[in-house]
Amino acid sequence: MEPLRLFRVIEVRNLTKHFGPIVAVQDISFEVKSGEIFAFLGPNGAGKTTTIKMLTTLLAPTTGKITVGGFDPTKQPHEVRKRFGIVFQDPSLDTELTAFENLDIHGVLYKVPKQVRIQRTEYLLRKFELWDRRKSYVKEFSGGMRRRLEIARCLLHTPNIIFLDEPTIGLDPQTRNQLWTQVKRLNEEEGVTVFLTTHYMEEAERVADRIGIIDHGKVVVQGSARQLIQQTSSQTLEEAFLSFTGSAIRHEESTSLDRMRNAAKLFRR
């Protein structure tokens, strides 16, 4: 295995975030190595987005230490920002602009030299099958096209790390499938480290090299899908997940877990 893999791109130590009385993230520690695909798997409200916001300079931690690409997001936000691309959980495109214009603004904001900007925009739009629609307004795009455009955009400035916060939410199974194929291919071709969150176990199992299970703001366990399954002598990741997060489900939690199970079944079809 190439030595680059050993380099830790993201390091998180005893990270905690409070919102008043709410503890959104509680004393979590993990690391992501260069070139790895790391998935945060957990139900809604587990603290996935809050963690991403702290990693991406949008939110200051209550306590704990973070480094991203070797820099502390609270102390050197611009150094960190240059090095990552992000697809937020909620949309973030300007729908009144065209696909091309959205990428172009991004390129300028990230100070990508004009020539490179033009080349890479074409390369990425072709890769994500949007080149023919580059002059269309984003408001005319379907959900899947918008997601693809956002992924293309976050790669424009050739970041070392990309954060994908539940990128497949609201997409149909075919589109999801295609999206993950593209992400996996990019990870292999460009060596970009991927930090993704999902509440679909199937997706985590399929794309991630390593998975961190997060529940109630805590990282319960981390390892490859196979390790997690073996550790619990389960048959599937779903069983493993349940044995880590406790199958003695508290009432309010049962609904979200049920939803996850149903969603996973749906995805398997």
Partner 1 sequence: MSCIYVLWLRQLKRYTRSRSRMFASLGQPILYLLAFGFGFGPIFQKAGQGNYIQFIAPGIIGMTVLFNSIFSGIELIWDRQFGFLKETLVAPVSRLLIMFGRTLGGATVALIQGAIMFLVCLGAGFRPLNIHALPAAIAFMALIAIMFTALGTAIASMLSDFHGFQLVMNFLVMPIFFLSGAIYPLASTSKTLEWIARIDPLSYGIDGLRGTLIGVAHFNLGFDLAVLLVLASVLLGLGGYLFSKICL
Ligand X SMILES: Nc1ncnc2c1ncn2[C@@H]1O[C@H](COP(=O)(O)OP(=O)(O)O)[C@@H](O)[C@H]1O
The closest residue (CB) to Mg ion is: 49
Nearer to ligand X, 6 or 60 (CB): 60
Nearer to Mg ion, 71 or 163 (CB): 163
Of 40-79, binders to Mg ion (CB under 5 A) are 48-49
Residues 6+ positions from 34 with CB-CB distance below 8 Å: 4, 5, 6, 7, 8, 9, 160, 191, 193
Nearer to ligand X, 44 or 247 (CB): 44
Nearer to Mg ion, 164 or 221 (CB): 164
Under the binding rule (CB under 6 A), the answer on residue 47 touching ligand X is yes
Minimum distance between the CB of residue 1 and ligand X, rounded to whole angstroms?
31
Of 138-177, binders to ligand X (CB under 6 A) are none
Under the binding rule (CB under 6 A), the answer on residue 35 touching ligand X is no
Out of 46, 93, 124, 179, the only residue in the binding site for ligand X (CB under 6 A) is 46
Nearer to ligand X, 43 or 107 (CB): 43
Minimum distance between the CB of residue 49 and Mg ion, rounded to whole angstroms?
3
Report, in angstroms and rounded to the nearest whole number, the Rg of the chain calculated over CA atoms.
18
Q: Which does 22 bind (CB under 5 to 8 A by kind): partner 1, Mg ion, ligand X, none?
A: ligand X
Under the binding rule (CB under 6 A), the answer on residue 22 touching ligand X is yes
Q: Which does 132 bind (CB under 5 to 8 A by kind): Mg ion, ligand X, partner 1, none?
A: none
DSSP string, the chain: --GGGGSEEEEEEEEEEEETTEEEEEEEEEEEETT-EEEEE--TTSSHHHHHHHHTTSS--SEEEEEETTB-TTT-HHHHHHHEEEE-SS----TTSBHHHHHHHHHHHTT--HHHHHHHHHHHHHHTT-GGGTTSBGGGS-HHHHHHHHHHHHHTT--SEEEEESTTTT--HHHHHHHHHHHHHHHHHH--EEEEEES-HHHHHHH-SEEEEEETTEEEEEE-HHHHHHHTT-SSHHHHHHHHH-SS--HHHHHHHHHHHHHHHHHH-
Q: Could you tell me if 31 and 10 are in contact, meaning their C-beta atoms sit under 8 angstroms apart?
A: yes
Out of 34, 50, 121, 168, the only residue in the binding site for ligand X (CB under 6 A) is 50
Under the binding rule (CB under 5 A), the answer on residue 198 touching Mg ion is no
Question: Would you tell me which residues interact with partner 1 (CB under 8 A)?
Answer: 53, 56-59, 77-79, 81-82, 86, 88, 90-97, 101, 104-106, 108-111, 153
Residues that bind Mg ion (CB under 5 A): 48-49, 89
Residues that bind ligand X (CB under 6 A): 19, 22, 24, 42, 44-50
